[in-house]
Structures are given as C-alpha cells and as structure tokens.
Amino acid sequence: MVDSVIADRWEPSFMYVSVIGHCMAEIGARWHAGKLAIPTEHRATQIALRVIARAQASYMNDRRVGLHAIVTSVEGDTHVIGGMTFADLLRFEGWDVDFLGVGSPIDSIVEMVKRESPNLVGLSVSIDKYLSNVIETVSAIKAMSHPPVVVIGGAGVTEHSVHEADFSSANAVEAIDWVQARFNLNPPSTTIEVMLSELGGRIQSLRKDQGLSQQQLATESNLDRSYISAVEHGKQNVSFTTLKRISDALGIGISDLISG
C-alpha cells in the first residue's frame, strides 16, 4: 500500500495521516481494549517508523521558506509518531525543523526556544494526562518577551482545547493548513484569466502541430472561427461541452487538454 501511494504521488499528508496515522490509531485502540500486548504495539511502531523513513526519502524537496520550527512530544509522553508527522509535513512545506523526539523536559524545551528563537513550536501530546505538562510548557514559552507561535497536536487534544496555545488540533493536516495560513505561505490561486490564457495557448499549439487552421478546427468542433480565435487568445470562457468538442477535434482527452 505504501509503495502504491508513493508511486501514485499522493500528497504526503495522505500517507502520514490516512495510512500510517489511521493504522496506529487502530493499534492503540486495540491495545487500550486489551486485544494487543505491548510488544505487538511496539513492533507496529517500529514498522511505522520504517515506513515513514521511506516516505521521508520520497517526498523531501528543495523548497525553503526561511522559517524555523522546533517540534517535540511533551514531557512524559513517549509517543513519537505524532510529533514526527507534524515535523515532516512542515519540512515538506519548506520549513527548517528541529525534531527533538519524545519526552523532552519542560525546562529544556523552554531553554532551547529562548536560545534559538524559532518562528514556531509544535508540541505533541498523545495521552490527555500529560495536558498539564502541555499547559505548563506553553505558558512558559508565551511568557517570553517575543514568543513564537505555538501549535499543539496529537490524540491527547481530541476532547480538549489548549487555550494557552495559538492553535490546537488532533489532526495534523488541519494544523499544517493553519500554520501555512498564519505565516501567509499558501500559494496564490491561479486567476481565471491566467487559466484561460494558458488553455488557449495549448489549444493553439496543438492545432498548429496538427497543421489545422482556425477554420478547420472550428468546422471539426462545430464552432465558429471567431469563437476559436477568442478561445486561443484567452478571451473566451468555455463550457465543458465546448472543451469536449475541441478535444475530440484535436484527438486528445479533455484532461490532457486542460493539464497540458
């Protein structure tokens, strides 16, 4: 399954949350219900870490946004995958991330934040009994003169809201989306004008490659020549029906016409 997801270039968030995260949540639920022994859960964790290592190598890119994050599980929490997921998803978005692993003492986290002044601190908590450690850590960070943004994640916040933090969610994808918006890192949407211009350019290029005039393409697609001219110059919005006529006349699929 993992090899298939990577080969088909699914988003890394799907791999981490919907595949690995879903499986580990099920493993944890079965352990809490007494259906699995601790060694079995530990084995599952090691398998998941090997899968994550494969995903890291496959999805890492050269994008850099010039922002620094420190991510760790809170003191007492020995679950590693939640924090690693958030750290890796940030890396895939171009962040420089220091992932500290599990169970970092509160004072050591605070000291590192003071020393390195990151833009973001991510704290993972998988068990709600450690929420008090989360609150203590966040409070100490927010007491700094210039505190970073603090995001809390993990199963431990499913039923709780850590008001001291800037954002909290059990869903890593929601957290990443919030962070990207908070730091204005979401890529701007392509305007309809640009999309129509690019579409028109592809149609014109394909038409010329096939040695067709505008009139010939218009005749083959049962459209007016002036309409084809307007489409090629990005001046005419087009319906799905029109795209189907043009793509059929050019002998290609609509998806190929749109995606180029």
**Average pLDDT for the chain:** 88
- Biggest alpha carbon–alpha carbon distance for the chain: 75
Rounded Cα gap, residues 75 and 102, in angstroms? 7
Rounded Cα gap, residues 90 and 85, in angstroms? 9
Give which of 39, 50, 104, 37 is closest to 81, Cα–Cα.
Answer: 50
> Which whole number is the average pLDDT over 193-206?
88
* Residue-wise pLDDT tens digits, 80-115: 899 999 999 999 999 999 999 988 899 999 999 999
| Residues recorded for the chain | 260
Q: Strand, coil or helix: what is 82?
A: helix
> Which whole number is the average pLDDT over 128-142?
91
Q: Strand, coil or helix: what is 11?
A: coil
Which pLDDT does position 161 carry in this prediction?
A: 67
**Percent over 90 (pLDDT), the chain:** 51
